[in-house]
Chain A
Amino acid sequence: MDVVLDIGISGVLMGLVYALLALGLTVIFGIMDTVNFAHGEFLMLGMYAGYLTYAYLYPEPLAGVPVAGLVGMLLGVLAYTLLVKRLLSGPPIAQIFGTFGLMLFLRYGALAVFGPNLRSATQGLVVAKRLVVGGLTLDAAKVVAAAGSAFLFGLVYLMLRRTKLGLALQATAANREAARYMGIDTDRMNLIGWALGGATAGMAGALLVNFYYVSPTVGMVFSMITFTTVALGGFGSVPGALIAGILVGLIEVFTAQVISPQLKLAVIYTVFFLVVLFRPRGLLGAR
């Protein structure tokens, strides 16, 4: 029982982190039906922003979170205005290849600039610290990352539901043409979607720095899981990303515990495959 609880809580914590990674991707897709293949690289650059802030400005990885949020937002804005906006006039396949190209550019650009080495934060408020709650030992850094994820989810959810901008974003997502006729600047909505997507990926990256290494290829480790999470939850669905993230986290830990660690990704992808087969719109997808 203890093992189940122990593992279950780890699964939920990691699941919340996956959910945060999926948030930005699902927001962008929801608004403009574009899959950002470079999302893992946005995360990677967020990690570098967080790590470099820690290494050169202030020796606390948590201080890097707002910086990485800003860097991520800027990256989203640049990616949209310089690349994606131009691709929109082409066929849909151009968007796929475009963001795929961006992924390669960012990954190997980072390799050229930062070198292949792995860097890790070694000190900080929650780095390598234990949190003992009711006899259970938790990784403080993961608890903080999960809490950050839950907070950002709440914020984005409220923004989408309660603010005028959120309603405009939702209107754009629901029907772009109709939204434009109602006087919504849909191009601006796209831009905001990318800025939001970039900012959440960046902040997720900086939160990861507390317990994960940083390298130019780290985006690869997380991007498959992120895409699976988004598809499982339903492309474009914010609550769906949250639920799917937690589900993926739980499947991962319990497969490793009960079946075999080498099959954990295989089981995640099998669940994903079955969902796509029997419920193509995902768990909470609108379409």
Chain B
Amino acid sequence: MLRVRRWIRTIAAVLGLIVFVGTLPSAAQETVKIGVILPLSGPLAPTGQELRRGYELMVDIVNNVYPELAALGLEVAGWNGIPSLGGAKIEPIFADSRGEPAVGADMARRLILEQGVVGLMGAYQSSVTQTVATVAERHGIPLVNSDSSSPTLTTLGYEWFWRVTPHDMIFDDDLFNLLDGLVEGKAPGVPAVPKDSIRRLAVVVENTEFGSATGNDIVNRLAPERGYEVVEYMRYQANSPDLTSETARLVNSGADVYLFASYVSDAILFMRTLALRGAKPTLIWGQNAGFTNPDFVQALGPALHGVLTRSLFIAKIGEVRPIAAAINELYRQRYGTNLSEESAREMLGVLAWAHALNNAGSTNPRALQRALNELDIPGDQLITPWQGIKFGSRRPGEKNQNIYATGMIGQYQYNPETGGVTLEIVYPFEAATADMVFPFPGWD
């Protein structure tokens, strides 16, 4: 009898202790673990490292006080941890997906079950993000993605997946907004141009998933919707030893606008061959990838004057957004380079997490889910020219996509005085850093 009583007492004490710990104010919480899945080894390792830097710097800004950033109005820079969680610090736990979907999913499971993370981020390649998202969905753990651009991800009805970054269809929309803007006279420094001077499009894409996704979206959706005519839809062999014939075909198509989805090697070869042929379209635009690569700029230099490329982040944004300039400077001091598209988008992801955690005031998954669904960060907190971060639907069947996310379109402009080539922002028009060079001046 005595023994039974002692047992009951012990159990009661243990239960009491559990309840007591469970109701402790969140002040006792020291860190909030967020699992970050990235391709840290394998062919995408350099990109993975770049992405990681973006996380680390923004986590540092949230966890500490940066008076100079706070003075510019960046709220999280004055927080010193998550305020509603008693100043709890965000602790990112990095895991390597090796760029493989199965490994990514396995890492997500381990982070949830072994590390007890309250949320996930990553995983860069859309195929990996998708498997990670299914794990997050099964375990009811929020996954905030800021680096995958396949439009499909936000159409699968996931309850635990939110995307901060624009997806590929939004990037394609941006291009047509720019074309329409030229006709309407909205482009900086360019009087309204007749639509007939930019109506005929040549779409040149490599014969891969990346190329055909862009190509099909432009050819099947946007061109007909916005009243443009595709006179040439060319899917070419990626990594070709020679592109003479392709270029001849392109020039002979008589298109006004050349649109490319190419990686750097083909992008260099196309531009060189077009230049030799003296091609003179009205506009040349590249879908990021090769067109933003430093090797592309090194190889072509002044010959790029007037070429457009879409990008999520262009360092020049600092000229119109002081917060972006200050963060870019901080990044440069720490890592020796400008913020890139990769590092910039991860900073936005961490920012979304920080606000969601603060709004939730708890690390309970349901509370976090609600906070993310209701998240509304104003544009003045961001390093991109977006209206803000707010999840919703921009097209039928879409869910939890940042409805304010847009890309930027930059234009390479040669400065004969400095001899350098800079990427100036020409879209969004209100964030333009220079007058647009239009039409494309040609190579003569």
Contacts and interface: CB of A to CB of B under 8 A. Distances in A.
Interface of A: 3, 6-7, 10-11, 14, 18, 116-120, 122, 128, 130, 137, 139, 211-213, 215, 220-222, 225, 252-257, 260-262, 264-265
A116 B268 contact: no
Given A120-B298, A128-B275, A213-B268, A6 B248 contact: yes
A102 B306 CA distance: 44
B276 A130 contact: yes
Interface string B247-259: 0110010000000
Contact of B268 (A3, A120, A137, A139): A120
Given A11-B245, A122-B299, A122-B301, 9 more contacts: A7-B245, A11-B244, A117-B294, A128-B276, A139-B273, A220-B239, A221-B240, A252-B245, A264-B240
Contacts of B246: 256, 261
A264 B237 contact: yes
A252 B303 contact: no
B242 A128 contact: no
A3 B252 contact: yes
Contacts of A117: 294-295
A222 B241 contact: yes
B277 interface: yes
Given A6-B248, A119-B298, A137 B276 contact: yes
B249 A261 contact: yes
A119 B236 CA distance: 23
Given A137-B278, A221-B239, A7 B244 contact: yes
Contact of B241 (A10, A120, A221): A221
21 contacts: A6-B248, A7-B244, A10-B245, A14-B241, A18-B241, A118-B264, A118-B265, A118-B299, A122-B299, A128-B272, A137-B277, A213-B265, A213-B295, A215-B265, A221-B239, A225-B241, A256-B246, A261-B237, A261-B245, A262-B237, A265-B237
Interface string B333-346: 00000000000000
Given A128-B303, A260-B235, A139 B249 contact: no
Interface of B: 46, 207, 234-237, 239-242, 244-246, 248-249, 252, 264-265, 268-269, 272-273, 275-278, 293-295, 298-301, 303
B150 to A, nearest CB: 22
Contacts of A215: 265
Contact of A253 (B245, B294, B299, B303): B245
A119 B207 CA distance: 24
Contacts of B252: 3
A213 B252 CA distance: 26
A68 B277 CA distance: 29
A14 B276 CA distance: 15
Contacts of A6: 248
Contacts of B265: 118, 213, 215, 221
A24 B355 CA distance: 63
Q: Taking each of B207, B237, B245, B301, which has the highest tally of chain A beta carbons within 10 Å of its own beta carbon?
A: B245
Contacts of B241: 14, 18, 212, 221-222, 225
B245 A213 contact: no
Contacts of A212: 241, 269
Contacts of B207: 262
Given A118-B265, A128-B272, A261-B235, A256 B277 contact: no
Nearest to B278: A137
Contacts of A261: 234-237, 245-246, 249
Contacts of A260: 235
Q: Taking each of B207, B248, B264, B276, which has the highest tally of chain A beta carbons within 10 Å of its own beta carbon?
A: B276
Contacts of A18: 241
A221 B242 CA distance: 10
B248 A211 contact: no
Given A118-B295, A122-B299, A7 B248 contact: yes
B87 to A, nearest CB: 42
- Would you list the 6 A-B pairs with minimal beta carbon distance, nearest first? A256-B245, A120-B299, A118-B295, A261-B236, A253-B245, A10-B244
A268 to B, nearest CB: 10
Nearest to B252: A3
B265 to A, nearest CB: 6
A156 B343 CA distance: 53
Contacts of A262: 207, 235-237
B223 to A, nearest CB: 20
Contact of A3 (B248, B276, B278): B248
Q: Taking each of A139, A252, A262, which has the highest tally of chain B beta carbons within 10 Å of its own beta carbon?
A: A262
Contacts of A10: 242, 244-245, 248
Contact of A213 (B234, B299, B301): B299
Contacts of A257: 245, 248-249
Nearest to A121: B299
Contacts of A265: 237
A222 to B, nearest CB: 6
Nearest to A248: B241
A260 B264 CA distance: 22
